[in-house]
Structure 1
Amino acid sequence: MGNEDKQLEQNKREEPLSLLSRSLITGFVGGLVFGFLGIVLYFFNFSEVTPKSYLLRSWITAEWTDRWLGNALSVVMTGLLSIGVAFVYYIFFKKIENFLMGAVYGVILWGIVFYLLQPVFPNIPPLTDLNMYTIVSTICLYILYGTFVGYSISYDYNDTLHQLKDNEAQN
């Protein structure tokens, strides 16, 4: 009986993650990576703002937010918020298999964060008060982020469709 259980366990396949789950994971990883890159831009003075500027420092003025813990927490928070961003892309744009849509999505996100939501984040100066290095660097970062998230989700969606069509053709 014990050997039969082991054989059955060995023959079991793991269920693959759903397309939506993979998209949300892509969003989380993209948020972590590009949140960290935002901190690098700030560290090397390419940007006046960092993810902690609007995620932590807008509401918490504790001293620890200026240290590595504040940076780490803001990167994790960026990853969590990015899950929602990826979900929105998944719902509306997953069928568009073109990297330019992701780049446009990144520019739209930049406009939302730096223009529309600026009054919500008192730690971020108005767009007219930001220097040109900050504007260019953050737009580029958001374009790269949008391209990563958008094209990854679109590619995964279209690849899954092609695999399903191939499987149907074989049967």
Structure 2
Amino acid sequence: MTEENQLEQNQREKPMSFITMVILTGLFGGIFWSGLAYFAYVFNLTEIRPTVILEPWTIGDWKVGWLGTVVSIVLIGVISIVVALIYYVALRKFPSIFVGIGYGIVLFLLVFFVLNPIFPGISPFNELERNTIITSVCFYILYGVFIGYSISYEESELKYKAMKERKGQQDVNNA
């Protein structure tokens, strides 16, 4: 038996790839923030349920019950993976919280102005209650900051580790 096999506790797991981290961040972010948005609906802070995402594509009353809510939240998590991948491709190199805030606002505008006709459960913007607008903007901003800061932080950490390795390699070569 080799020393490597004997000291299994000294072996390190391979770190998660950056793209896997982005996918998991998107999935978790979508599930977490849409779950919180559901509680905001329950407490009458918004008139929009997460189940509005199912309305254009499903038939039946099941979509307004608990099953529809769970399916909606998971579906929003899956769609959020795409949103996180878009952030990864376009904005990951910007380590500012303001980029995440801007991304959340852009997503809000996209959903409430561009995609609004697709979702019959979302009233036109000028007919929404003030609480719904404020709550929705806040959730989208927090979601954008969560996605943006998580991805940008990981990007800067990878750059730092690479720079540290290069510096260490240069020190070894210079010695």
TM-score if structure 2 supplies the norm length?
Answer: 0.89
- 1:14-52 Cα shifts (integer Å, max 9, x gaps): 321211211111111100100101101111111111221
TM-score if structure 1 supplies the norm length?
Answer: 0.91
Matched, 1:86 2:84: yes
Shift of 1:5: 10
Contact kept, 8 Å, 1:105 with 1:143, in 2: the verdict is yes
Shift of 1:57: 2.4
Matched, 1:74 2:72: yes
Residues 110-149 of structure 1 correspond to what in structure 2 (within 5 A)? 110-149=108-147
Q: Secondary structure at the match of 1:122?
A: coil
Contact kept, 8 Å, 1:102 with 1:143, in 2: the verdict is yes
Matched, 1:38 2:37: yes
Residues 86-105 of structure 1 correspond to what in structure 2 (within 5 A)? 86-105=84-103
Cα distance in 2, alignment partners of residues 9 and 35 from structure 1: 44
Between stretches 105-114 and 64-73, larger displacement belongs to: 64-73
Cα distance in 2, alignment partners of residues 105 and 14 from structure 1: 34
- 1:123-159 Cα shifts (integer Å, max 9, x gaps): 2211111111101100000000000000110011001
Aligned residues: 168
Shift of 1:122: 2.1
Aligned residue number for residue 173 of structure 2? none
- 1:30-84 Cα shifts (integer Å, max 9, x gaps): 001001011011111111112211x112332412211111111111001100000
Between stretches 93-102 and 123-132, larger displacement belongs to: 123-132
Between stretches 57-66 and 157-166, larger displacement belongs to: 57-66
Aligned residue number for residue 17 of structure 2? 18
Cα distance in 2, alignment partners of residues 12 and 6 from structure 1: 8
Match of 1:158 among 132, 156, 159: 156
Write the letter of the residue equivalent to 1:47.
T
Write the letter of the residue equivalent to 2:42.
F
Q: RMSD in angstroms over aligned alpha carbons?
A: 1.8
Aligned residue number for residue 29 of structure 1? 28
Aligned residue number for residue 56 of structure 2? 58
Cα distance in 2, alignment partners of residues 132 and 61 from structure 1: 30
Cα distance in 2, alignment partners of residues 49 and 104 from structure 1: 22
Structure 1: stretches of 5+ with no match in the other structure: none
Cα distance in 1, alignment partners of residues 111 and 135 from structure 2: 14
Write the letter of the residue equivalent to 1:62.
G
Q: Secondary structure at the match of 1:124?
A: coil
Pair member with larger Rg: 2
